[in-house]
Amino acid sequence: MTSAATLLRDVFGFDAFRPGQEEIVEAVSTGENVLAIMPTGGGKSLCFQLPALLRDGVTVVISPLIALMRDQVRALQEAGVAAGALTSGNTPEETEAVWQALEDGRLKLLYIAPERLAAGSAIGMLRRIGVSLIAVDEAHCVSQWGHDFRPDYLRIGALRRALGVPLAAFTATADEETRAEIVEKLFDGAAPRAFLRGFDRPNLHLAFGAKNNPRAQILSFAAARRGQSGIVYCGTRAKTETLAKALRDEGHAACHYHGGMEADDRRITERRFQQEDGLIVVATVAFGMGVDKPDIRWVAHADLPKSIEAYYQEIGRAGRDGAPAETLTLFGPDDIRLRRSQIDEGLAPPERRLADHARLNALLGLAEALECRRKTLLGYFGETDVTCGRCDLCDTPAETFDGTTPVRMALSAILRTDERFGSGHLIDILTGTLTDKVRARRHDELPTFSVGTDYDRRQWQAIFRQMMGHDLIRPDPERHGALRFTEAARPILRGEASITLRKDTITQAQRRPAVKTLVSDEDAPLLSALKAKRRALAEAAKVPAYVIFPDRTLIEMAETRPKTLDDMARIGGVGAKKLDRYGKTFLEVIAGEVQSLHPARQKLAGRDAGTLYDRLLEVQANLARGETGVEKPLSCSASLLAKVAQQRPSDERGMERLLGERRSERFGAAFLDVLREAS
């Protein structure tokens, strides 16, 4: 039986598993029920794709988005794996090809959307085709506590029971409540083998900024990363369109994406983003789980996400190739009011609203953090052993001050005005600004009038925003957003607790220098040439560029400059099928003319057996006319030499079995000497 390590190298082109992958692959391959929580970009897909090749029968992969399924199927087919998808986006010919492969018993992975399980015929069809494993991608969609709930995911548990096969569920983000619901809904409460592989993405740089002309902040961030693929998330559909236009006006390749667009227009944007280098998509969260492009170099949020899980999932779309990537999240008091009101005015039951406020509080705690962002973010997911050095607060520690006195002043002003006003009017009171509204309500007679003149209006805005971020005050939806204080504020108001705030909250967002290029200046022209070749091949095949080779593979080619197919086979991501299909083409870009190899030798490229083959060939040439040089010419075929190199017989009898009597008599002893030298 072929081993996992062999398939990893030959099919997927990797010499070693990423941390945590191997034991998950082993558990899934042996038929255990598995729940694996791995960071986005941590190699989840391989953990069910590789076991599918090791197991008999068909593995059914339930995945939430057509675009994601199609891209994974294309990538598998490029690697020589028999995979197909049954989706509403298929052409009749594609669907027929999938059914034919199933009938012939060739298909190893079948991707379907959860909605397909609603059809009464689905379970019968899956029984008939010999399913041996169910893999569930984005398993958090089963949970109503999660941020991407999909009702059709609730049918998966019934499918597992009906087919009586093991199930492996994968997600990049799931807190304890979500994990418990996954176990209940998918595994009937029987705990699967669980793998929690850490949530850290050390290649991502984390940064937050208070809004201060947010359009200019986003344009500045993008300008420092010109030519790199990025995503800008916005809170409204209208903003995606205006911000995309602003980016285009600045000379960027940019387009918008939201749920209100025609389906065809959305597909065009998805296709462009997958296939074009350096495109920016300005999108609502509708542009979500289907994003599987590995070389997204940055993600920016023009508005605050709705929860810490949503934030983690959205920034996780950057840097899936493991190379450095950057994130920026902008936020302001209007974001906080909007998110609070969405929760309060929603139809969820009280306990769900309470949990949603807690999730928002966790994100606001991250936004208002005074030390390392990564420590705060991973602490939410239960990780305490954190090393960072890649966030804005590690780059430049926050300048803080004791905010207890101004916060007490603000709380007192809220209390003395019966929690009926927003921050604008309260700041007028605190700064002693005599507006008509202040006079009309006689608020200039309050003890808190003009007590806060040590701080200007912008500083007070920052203080109020931080108070909202610390959940000391909340907008009241029944009083048009008037601020009321929470239980958390009472100890500060009573003088029983203190609070530290940031001084430098409202500052012009600095334009960070452009991310260093991924290769040296010396290698950059070759990388550009390799990308151009990849783009031409991708366009001809109508597949995303990374399906040919991901950026990381091209970068390794540009840096190591392989000269032979053996060298090329050692590049990460170059499996046997891709070496056969593209190896020579890319070598010609790097090294010019390339020596052809016999197909039997090419299959051994990059392995010890390849070196052995070359030595055996050399020995055979010397003995072609025997030791005396006058005998009748004799040789072994390329495929026979390849067998000797792979099987490595250890004695004369074994060699004779492979070569036959005549060839063994001439070459056997010399071949055995070569094999012994190599062992």
Residue range(s) defining the domain that contains residue 659: 608-678
443 domain-assigned: yes
On whether both 67 and 185 belong to a single domain, the answer is yes
262 domain-assigned: yes
CA 357, chain centre distance (Å): 26
Q: What share of the chain in percent tops pLDDT 90?
A: 43
Dist. CA 124–CA 162, nearest whole Å:
9
Predicted local distance difference test score (pLDDT) of residue 515: 47
Q: What are phi and psi of 234, to 5 degrees?
A: -125, 155
For Cα atoms 19, 24, 27, give the angle at the middle one, nearest 5 degrees. Answer: 150
pLDDT for 611-622, tens place per residue? 888 889 888 888
Dist. CA 667–CA 199, nearest whole Å:
57
Dist. CA 489–CA 331, nearest whole Å:
22
Report the SS3 class of residue 286.
coil
Report the SS3 class of residue 185.
helix
The pTM of this model reads 0.75
Dist. CA 299–CA 383, nearest whole Å:
23
On whether both 230 and 278 belong to a single domain, the answer is yes
Write out the two tokens for 580.
Answer: 């056969």
Half-sphere exposure of 487 (CA within 13 A, CB side): 0
On whether both 322 and 281 belong to a single domain, the answer is yes
Query: Which amino acid is present at 623?
Result: L
On whether both 315 and 290 belong to a single domain, the answer is yes
Note the residue count of the chain: 679
Place of tokens 């507006």: 435
30 domain-assigned: yes
Choosing from 596, 628, 648, the residue where a domain stops is 596
User: Which residues have CB under 8 Å from 659's CB, separation 6+?
Assistant: 636, 640, 644, 667, 668, 671
514 domain-assigned: no
- Nearest Cα neighbor of 187 from 54, 32, 299, 303 is 32
User: Hey, how many other C-beta atoms are within 10 angstroms of the C-beta on 95?
Assistant: 15
Report the SS3 class of residue 425.
helix
Choosing from 146, 171, 196, the residue where a domain stops is 196
Report the SS3 class of residue 118.
helix
CATH of the domain at 372: 3.40.50.300
94 domain-assigned: yes
On whether both 245 and 270 belong to a single domain, the answer is yes
Predicted local distance difference test score (pLDDT) of residue 43: 82
145 domain-assigned: yes
pLDDT for 256-295, tens place per residue? 999 899 988 988 898 888 878 889 999 998 886 556 788 8
On whether both 418 and 463 belong to a single domain, the answer is yes
On whether both 282 and 224 belong to a single domain, the answer is yes
On whether both 422 and 390 belong to a single domain, the answer is no
On whether both 180 and 216 belong to a single domain, the answer is no
Choosing from 395, 419, 439, the residue where a domain stops is 395
Dist. CA 168–CA 630, nearest whole Å:
65
On whether both 407 and 390 belong to a single domain, the answer is no
Report the SS3 class of residue 503.
coil
516 domain-assigned: no
- Nearest Cα neighbor of 515 from 678, 278, 291 is 278
User: Hey, how many other C-beta atoms are within 10 angstroms of the C-beta on 87?
Assistant: 21
To 10 degrees, the CA torsion angle through 490, 492, 496, 501?
A: 150
58 domain-assigned: yes
In the chain, which stretches have pLDDT less than 70? Answer: 1-2, 41, 145-147, 288-291, 504-518
Dist. CA 28–CA 14, nearest whole Å:
19
CATH of the domain at 550: 1.10.150.80
* Domain count along the chain: 5
Predicted local distance difference test score (pLDDT) of residue 632: 86
On whether both 639 and 558 belong to a single domain, the answer is no
On whether both 18 and 126 belong to a single domain, the answer is yes
